[in-house]
């Protein structure tokens, strides 16, 4: 079933399914709503004679170090930071 693969690998459709489940909709109702979205998308792509393009990433990871505190000089990781993540460069 294409809907199951789409819900698994497409973050937007996965979010829609999760939102419908959170509202208390039954699983089959939510799957049917995702099927409808896929059919509408396919019809729009055929109508406009274009290919489907995945969305680019919507966010980027930004890590900010805390300001220098009297007891912690700059350059040291924040308290509670996992050192193994910093050493894996």
CB atoms within 10 A of CB 47: 8
CA angle centred on 86, ends 72 and 78, rounded to 5°: 25
Alpha carbon separation from 33 to 3, 21, 26, 28 (Å, rounded): 10, 11, 11, 9
Which two three-digit tokens encode residue 20? 């419908």
Which strand (E) or helix (H) includes residue 11? Answer: helix 11-22
For residue range 27-36, list pLDDT tens digits in order.
999 999 999 9
pLDDT of residue 68: 55
Q: What is the pTM for the complete model shown? A: 0.57
Mean pLDDT of the chain: 78
5-15 average pLDDT score: 89
């Amino acid at each position: 079933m294409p809907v199951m693969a789409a819900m698994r690998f497409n973050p937007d459709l996965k979010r829609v399914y999760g939102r419908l489940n959170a509202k208390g909709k039954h699983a089959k109702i939510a799957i049917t709503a995702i099927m409808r979205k896929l059919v509408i998308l396919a019809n729009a792509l055929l109508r406009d004679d274009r290919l489907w393009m995945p969305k680019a990433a919507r966010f980027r990871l930004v890590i900010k170090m805390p300001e220098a505190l009297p007891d912690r000089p700059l350059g040291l990781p924040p308290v509670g930071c996992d050192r193994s993540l910093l050493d894996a460069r």
